[in-house]
Structure 1
Amino acid sequence: MLLATAVLPFRMTAAEERTSVRGRLRQADGTKPGIFTKDGKVIDLSGDAATVGVLRDQRLKDADFEAMGHFTGPTQFEADPIYKKALFAWSGGKRMMVTYWCEICSIRAWTPGNCQCCQRPMKLDLRDPALEDTDPTN
């Protein structure tokens, strides 16, 4: 007996389509990180543990911030996983990738914390995305 299967193209639902959200980064104690949009909305942000680490980094508080990902509800946005390098801060009118750098060991990371080598705190280092390979499949 031969079974036939239909191959249907995968289609994301509207809530899963990749998009971005931009505004002022909110980091109030006891609340979810969020974005205050220019039109006055508050969008709650979520993501994997490393992404949430960036969203809670006090050095980015009130930054003009952008996250790539998808909406999970009208006021809920899930950022892409950290390996997709989907978090940006706008500085001087330019979109900059959020990274962290250890000047001693020359190690770059995408979430805040101590250097994996010397264990000193890593510095926030906003970086031109053109200098990065942002394709996670490479």
Structure 2
Amino acid sequence: MKQFWLSLMLAVICLTLFSSLALSQSVNGVARPGQIVIRGKVVCLDESGRRLASEHNCQQPSHRFGFDTSDGKFYLFLRSDSATAMFFDPRVCQRELQITARLDAEGQLEIIKVHSIHQGRLYDIYYFCEICNITAYAPGPCHCCRQEFELKETPVPEP
């Protein structure tokens, strides 16, 4: 009898563990979005989602950004992703980039990390104020001294 209760208890514990694992893998039958690493160039889109000419500066707040990958795929960035503020800088948009992002259920990107690529090497790309020693990920004035942030690129250390 004691062995029966132990077996039953073990079965309940296993069932609970496996069902919670299955629930964590999907929400309403939809697989959780994953993380991807892609290379390519930023594309500026107008309010309706049409691509703007490449020479057009993407500096209007109503613009949206997409990403053309080097293998021919296209992704949209989430409108709510504040990390896309970096793309208002035309110097960043002109570079080949490697984006590490979370891919949501609709196939849109939320930025985790942006690297630039020069001669096959990765570089951290960010804005920096030398006076205040402040790092930012969007162009504009320093939050402290109001001097313009400087765009910086530093090589990513080799593993």
CA RMSD, Structure 1 to Structure 2 (Å): 2.9
* Structure 1 match to 2:131: 104
Figure out how many residues of one structure are paired with residues of the other and give that number: 123
| Secondary structure in structure 2 of the residue aligned to 1:53 | helix
| Secondary structure in structure 1 of the residue aligned to 2:75 | strand
CA distance in 2, matches of 1:73, 1:26: 21
1:69 paired with 2:101, answer: yes
**1:96-127 superposed Cα distances (whole Å, 9 cap, x missing partner):** 12211112333222222211221011011112
CA contact (8 A) 1:26 1:35 kept: yes
CA contact (8 A) 1:19 1:70 kept: yes
**1:49-99 superposed Cα distances (whole Å, 9 cap, x missing partner):** 53021133222122111221233367632223xxxxx11111232111221
Identify if the C-alpha distance between structure 1 residues 57 and 73 changes in structure 2 by more than 3 Å, giving closer, same or farther. farther
| Secondary structure in structure 1 of the residue aligned to 2:71 | coil
Of residues 1, 7, 18 in structure 1, which corresponds to 2:35? 18
CA contact (8 A) 2:84 2:111 kept: no
- 4+ residue runs of structure 1 moved beyond 4 angstroms? 12-15, 28-31
Return 5+ residue gaps in structure 2 as ranges.
Answer: 1-11, 48-62
Identify if the C-alpha distance between structure 1 residues 113 and 20 changes in structure 2 by more than 3 Å, giving closer, same or farther. same
Return 5+ residue gaps in structure 1 as ranges.
Answer: 81-85, 131-138
| Secondary structure in structure 2 of the residue aligned to 1:33 | strand
* Structure 1 match to 2:4: none
CA contact (8 A) 2:64 2:79 kept: no
CA contact (8 A) 2:41 2:68 kept: yes
**1:26-53 superposed Cα distances (whole Å, 9 cap, x missing partner):** 2355442122222333322236553021
Identify if the C-alpha distance between structure 1 residues 21 and 15 changes in structure 2 by more than 3 Å, giving closer, same or farther. farther
- Bigger Rg, which one: 2
More helix by share: 2
What TM-score do you get using the length of structure 1 for normalisation?
0.69
* Structure 1 match to 2:9: none
What TM-score do you get using the length of structure 2 for normalisation?
0.62
Of residues 91, 106, 117 in structure 1, which corresponds to 2:144? 117
